[in-house]
Every structure is written in C-alpha cells, then in structure tokens.
Amino acid sequence: MGDPGTDPGTDPGADRVRTEVDGDLWRITLARPDTGNAVDPALARQLAAAFADRPEGTRAVLLLADGPRFCVGGDVRAFAGAGDPGDFVGRLAADWHAALRALLACPVPVVAGVHGAVAGAGVGLLGACDLVVCARSTVVRPAYAALGFSPDGGSSWVLARSLGQARTLDLLLTAGGLTAEEARDAGLVARVVDDDALRDEALAVARGVAAGPVRALVRTRQLVRGAAARGLVEHLDEEGRLIAESAADAEGREGVRAFVEKRRPDFRAG
C-alpha cells in the first residue's frame, strides 16, 4: 500500500483533497504535501467524495497533487501504529478501492498530471486515469516488497497490462522502479514533459479533452478498457453499438454538421 519513506501528518480532520471548478474542468488536487500525499482513510474517502461531487456542468477532471511528490502510497506510519495491522490495512484498501471505483465510473474523462514519486497505491491511481501527463523526473516505484506487502489498488493489474507478466514480476519482486520514459514506453503514462512544463501541459490537455465530444470520448474509454476482456467478434458488436449511439447523440450530429459546413465543431453546445 505504500512507500516506507513516508512521514504522514497526524491531524485526521485536515483536508486531504482540494476541489475547484476551473471553467469546464473539475480540478481535484491531493493536498497532503508534507506526507508525499500518503493515503490514509481520510484521503481515500475525500477522493471518492470529490469524484462523486463533480458539478454537472464540468466536462473533464484534472487530477493533480501538491508538493514535490504525487503520491507515495499508503500511510506507513499509521500501519506501524495500528493495534491490528491486518484489519487496518484491509479497511484502508477497501476505502482506497472505493475511491478508484468512483474514478473509473466518472462520466467524463480524467486527466492526471503526475510528478516526483508515484509509489504503492499511487501506481493504481495513475493507472486508473484516462490520460496521464508525467514530469520527466518522476519515478514509479511500487515498493510493496520493501514493506513485506502484496499489491493493492489495482497496481498489479495495471502493471501486468502495461509491462507484461515477466517485467511486472521483476519490478514487484525486486522492489524496482521505472523512470518516466520507461513508464511511457510501457504504456503506463501517455506523455512525458519537462518538470517545469507539467502543470501547463496537463491543463492544456485537460482543456482540450473538455472541449471535445465528451460522451463519445467516454464511449471510447469503455471500448479500450474492455478490449482485453473480449474476443474480436464480440468487440466488433460493441463498437457497432456504441458508434451508432454516438451518431445519434447531439455531439455526433454536431460533428457531422461541422464537417459538412467546413467549420470547427462546438461540442459544448450538445
């Protein structure tokens, strides 16, 4: 669940997640910088609430983090102080998985800008997002073996799908790490940018997504996520169903009209 180098704070009532409307975007920021945004029950529940509370008019989510590290994983000091560590970590994993399910069910695309360290539970968070912009100095390090833990948060699933079984086992069994470029080459993140350009690039990508045909993009996400679980014949049926749904949607009608009229489509109007 986490990186043994974390130093979590002790105030359980503090805000761990900050939210704000930024034009078309619902901006969610992990806001526990002194701990490397270590995951404790409060952060997990606040993140789930942030996705559930997304204002209806926002067209994309931008996920960022305060401080020098994106998310170092679980709150290891809290693990050490728990009277029943198995019960504590199991309940925290359940809270974290609820937050990830809320992210995966988000009815608009989710763009993340990640930087610094991504460890433990943070790896699964990264893998659940639709499009990840990554700062060049970022290191992705699952770190479970260093704690004597097995993975959670979907991290083993995400890594196995991106890296394949052999490389994932090498990474997890030896407590290894990936550079930003290695994560991009493996398909774990979409783009790598210079550190000082991360926020601007992530914001620009999120704004571009929000200006697009959001419902069609969500259908596209559904197809891509489901591709590995279906055979091609079944997948063709799903593609046919969803493209017809898109064509009947106001977004699809606007896109076709704009193409014929040789103008830029206004998908927000749909």
Q: What is the pLDDT along the chain (270 residues), one digit of tens a residue?
A: 554 443 334 455 579 999 999 999 999 999 999 999 999 999 999 999 999 999 999 999 999 999 999 999 998 888 888 888 899 889 999 999 999 999 999 999 999 999 999 999 999 999 999 999 999 999 999 999 988 999 999 999 999 999 999 999 999 999 999 999 999 999 999 999 999 999 999 999 999 999 999 999 999 999 999 998 899 999 999 999 999 999 999 999 999 999 999 999 999 976
For residue 134, being part of any structural domain is answered with: yes
181, 227: one domain: no
Q: In the listed set 163, 188, 210, which residue is the last one of a domain according to the structure?
A: 210
Determine the Cα angle at 13 with ends 9 and 15, to 5°. Answer: 80
Q: What is the pLDDT of residue 253?
A: 94
- Residue 48 belongs to what domain range? 17-210
The answer on 135 and 68 residing in a single domain is yes
Quote the strand ranges of the chain, DSSP E.
Answer: 17-22, 25-30, 60-65, 110-114, 117-119, 131-135, 139-141, 178-179, 191-193
264: in domain: yes
Residues 187 and 221 in one domain: no
**Is residue 221 a part of any domain in this protein?**
yes
Is 115 part of any domain? yes
pTM score, whole prediction: 0.92
Question: Is residue 10, in this structure, part of any structural domain at all?
Answer: no
Is residue 74 included in any domain, yes or no? yes
Residues 160 and 248 in one domain: no
Query: Are residues 111 and 229 located together in one domain of the fold?
Result: no
150 and 235 in a single domain? The answer is: no
Based on the fold, state whether residues 143 and 225 are members of the same structural domain.
no
Same domain flag for 154 and 97 = yes
Residues 146 and 82 in one domain: yes
Please tell me whether residues 95 and 188 are part of one structural domain. yes
Instruction: Assign residue 186 the CATH number of its domain.
Output: 3.90.226.10
In a domain, 5, yes or no: no
- The residue whose two tokens read 């000091």 is 77
- Tell me if 258 is assigned to some domain: yes
What's the domain count of the chain? Answer: 2
- CATH number of the structural domain spanning residue 259: 1.10.12.10
Alpha helices in 53-164 (DSSP H): 76-81, 85-104, 121-128, 144-147, 155-163
Same domain, 71 and 153: yes
Same domain, 26 and 124: yes
Q: Hey, what are 164's tokens? A: 């394949």
- Cα-flanking dihedrals φ and ψ of residue 139, to 5°? -120, 130
